[in-house]
Amino acid sequence: MAITITPLRPTLGAEISGVDLSRPLDAATKDALSRALAEHLALVFHDQSLTPEQYLAAAAAFGPPMRQHYSQHNMPDHPDIGLVWHRNGQQPAERWHTDHTNRERPPAATMLYGVEIPSRGGGTSVANMRAAYAALPDAEQAKLRELRTVNTLDDHHKDVRPEDAEKFGKPIMHPMVRIHPVHGSPAMYFHITKTAYIEGMSPGDSRAYLADLLDRMIRPEIVYTHQWRKGDVLVIDDRATMHRAHGDYDRSESRILWRIIVEGDRPMAA
């Protein structure tokens, strides 16, 4: 395949053309996409038409698909695909986060496929947490490199199945600054509502500290906002970004995304 990579913003995001994700990807294409994701942190593929089986096969280019822990929202016949859909009881994830930090080997990437798209709004924003970390004062960078978060399932989801809580709710510790295994660069790494606490801090102080960090770090110049079209695939590098949904769409319209997360490495401290 002849791949074209077109940057979307100076700090992150690239449009990929020349790739049909419904067809098997050769080794060279997989390697090029892996390197592009590590460099640009968010990849956009337009005009895709995928069955669940084809989507799962395409996701394997970035890593083995992981089972998602809110199984009540997973596709019944393909449980490694989550359905992001407000009509099945979900609220848009409008707070900045990175997925599934409560796992020992959290995702390398999150893939979203636009199946039904509202006429206006409902975008997805991605922030470059590599750039966010680099912009902090040297003394604060040094402090953050010493901190670790204890991660569990979010406590505000009341419909979690008992088997998911048992399997995925055990505390997992990660560094707040991690090294990207492909790019080699440091980035901020945490999920504010999956952080039970920062090691050595109370839960309340931990949440307040993380909220202040987010307010200071995420600036417009390090954000790419994807405006969905039907057939788009957005691949987000969870190792060096945060993302959020925008709930600014008419709830009488459908917004259905198919989500796959792929397994990554155990985060390594900077």
Q: What is the CATH number of the domain that holds 81?
A: 3.60.130.10
Is 52 domain-assigned? yes
Number of C-beta neighbours around residue 158 at 10 A? 5
Q: Which residues contact 60 (CB under 8 A, 6 or more apart)?
A: 262
Is 270 domain-assigned? no
For residue 243, what are the domain limits? 4-264
Number of domains in the chain: 1
pLDDT value of position 212? 97
Range list of β-strands (E), the chain: 4-7, 14-17, 42-45, 65-66, 74-75, 78-85, 107-116, 124-128, 148-151, 172-175, 177-179, 186-188, 195-198, 223-226, 233-237, 241-245, 256-263, 268-269
Question: Quick one: what percent of the chain has pLDDT higher than 90?
Answer: 87
Confidence of residue 2 (pLDDT cuts 50, 70, 90): confident
Where does 146-187 have alpha helices with state H? 162-168
Give the integer Cα–Cα distance in Å for 192 and 213: 10
Whether the model clears a pTM of 0.85, i.e. scores above it, the answer is yes
Is 244 domain-assigned? yes
Lowest mean pLDDT, pick from 9-18, 81-90, 123-132, 151-160:
151-160
Is 269 domain-assigned? no
Residue 155 confidence (pLDDT) above 70: no
Is 157 domain-assigned? yes
Is 56 domain-assigned? yes
Is 136 domain-assigned? yes
Average pLDDT, rounded, for the chain: 94
Is 152 domain-assigned? yes
Give the integer Cα–Cα distance in Å for 253 and 233: 20
pLDDT value of position 156? 65
